[in-house]
């Protein structure tokens, strides 16, 4: 969507199939909402770059996968309605809301970037996303942050996380390493693999589930990365206000 900049007579002319005018005040507000464009883009491109970024973030919030990896982003969990369909009070009242996650990150990705450039690191991340999504086609895969992905086992998938899923993930990681080597990046890849089973009792609303799930995924993975936990970690959260009775 090319734009004419600087605007003439106080408006920015956007050449689209239906021409619209954006005044200077609104254009500056859009650019100010995305500060990084002022460092990375020349003035003529800042408005369009900022607008494209804002639209992209809204698409991610609504559950669109990111173009880089094909995975969802945490925005869909934290701010979007991804978990709305997973919320069923008739079940939660008795057994709690249940979810699981298989979590993987690439160890020392910075060393891959040093050896093969950022394009090499990007290749590793794309292969990791593709193989996880291929290994778990019924689940949602989320890119939690730079080099970390989580495969979510949500109620609608019909599958509960089990040890066999960890074996499936390990097989996928072997395939990732082989695919990267076949592309010419002869580097030793290592991964941190962790898993979580989470049960939330008496969640008040579906909107509380996303932040809780993201936080518990991060916690479980940090525990595994530090060698403090292995296998499937079990967690229960009670939102009913009751304080557990301590022994003794």
Give per-residue pLDDT as tens, 79-104. Answer: 888 898 888 766 776 788 999 999 99
Q: What is the pLDDT of residue 234?
A: 96
Is residue 109 within 8 Å of residue 185, measured between CB atoms? Answer: no
How far is 156 from 135, CA to CA, in rounded Å?
18
Domains and CATH numbers, the chain: 3-61 (no CATH), 74-238 (3.30.70.270)
Q: What is the pLDDT of residue 18?
A: 46
Q: Which two tokens stand for residue 35?
A: 């500060």
pLDDT of 16 strictly over 70: no
Among the listed residues 178, 143, 2, the one whose alpha carbon sits nearest the alpha carbon of residue 67:
143
Q: Is 103 helix (H, G, I), strand (E, B) or coil?
A: strand
Q: What is the pLDDT of residue 2?
A: 37
Among residues of the chain, what percentage have pLDDT more than 90?
Answer: 46
pLDDT of 7 strictly over 50: no
- pLDDT tens per residue, range 144-201: 988 999 999 999 888 999 999 999 999 999 999 999 999 887 778 999 999 999 999 9
Q: Bigger pLDDT: 42 or 189?
A: 189
Q: Which two tokens stand for residue 20?
A: 């619209």
Q: What is the pLDDT of residue 146?
A: 86
How far is 105 from 144, CA to CA, in rounded Å?
10
Among the listed residues 134, 151, 133, 154, the one whose alpha carbon sits nearest the alpha carbon of residue 142:
151
pTM of the model: 0.81
Is residue 197 within 8 Å of residue 161, measured between CB atoms? Answer: yes
- pLDDT tens per residue, range 124-141: 999 999 999 999 999 999
Q: What is the pLDDT of residue 213?
A: 96
pLDDT of 63 strictly over 90: no
How many C-alpha atoms does 147 have within 13 Å on its Cβ side? 20
Name residue, tokens 């932040």. Answer: 211
Most confident of 7-11, 14-18, 114-118: 114-118
Q: Bigger pLDDT: 248 or 215?
A: 215
Longest dimension (CA), the chain: 78
- Residue 248's pLDDT band (boundaries 50, 70, 90)? low
Overall average pLDDT of the 219-233 stretch: 94
pLDDT of 29 strictly over 80: yes
């Amino acid at each position: 969507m090319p734009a004419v900049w600087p605007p003439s007579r106080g408006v920015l002319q956007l050449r689209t199939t239906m021409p619209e005018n954006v005044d200077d005040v609104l254009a500056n507000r859009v650019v100010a909402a995305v500060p990084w464009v002022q460092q990375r883009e020349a003035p003529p491109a800042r408005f369009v770059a900022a607008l494209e970024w804002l639209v992209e973030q809204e698409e991610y919030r609504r559950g669109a996968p990111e173009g880089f990896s094909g995975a969802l982003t945490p925005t869909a969990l934290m701010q979007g309605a991804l978990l709305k369909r997973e919320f069923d009070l008739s079940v939660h009242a008795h057994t709690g809301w249940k979810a699981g996650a298989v979590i993987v990150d690439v160890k020392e990705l910075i060393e891959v970037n040093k050896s093969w450039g950022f394009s090499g690191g990007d290749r590793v991340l794309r292969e990791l996303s593709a193989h996880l999504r291929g290994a778990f086609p019924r689940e949602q895969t989320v890119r939690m942050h730079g080099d970390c992905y989580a495969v979510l086992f949500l109620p609608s998938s019909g599958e509960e996380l089990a040890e066999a899923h960890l074996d499936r993930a390990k097989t996928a990681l072997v395939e990732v390493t082989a695919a990267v080597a076949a592309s010419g990046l002869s580097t030793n890849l290592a991964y941190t693999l962790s898993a979580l089973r989470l049960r939330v009792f008496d969640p008040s609303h579906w909107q509380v589930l996303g932040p809780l799930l993201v936080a518990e995924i991060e916690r479980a993975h940090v525990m595994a990365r530090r060698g403090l936990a292995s296998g499937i970690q079990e967690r229960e959260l009670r939102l009913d206000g009751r304080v557990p009775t301590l022994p003794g």
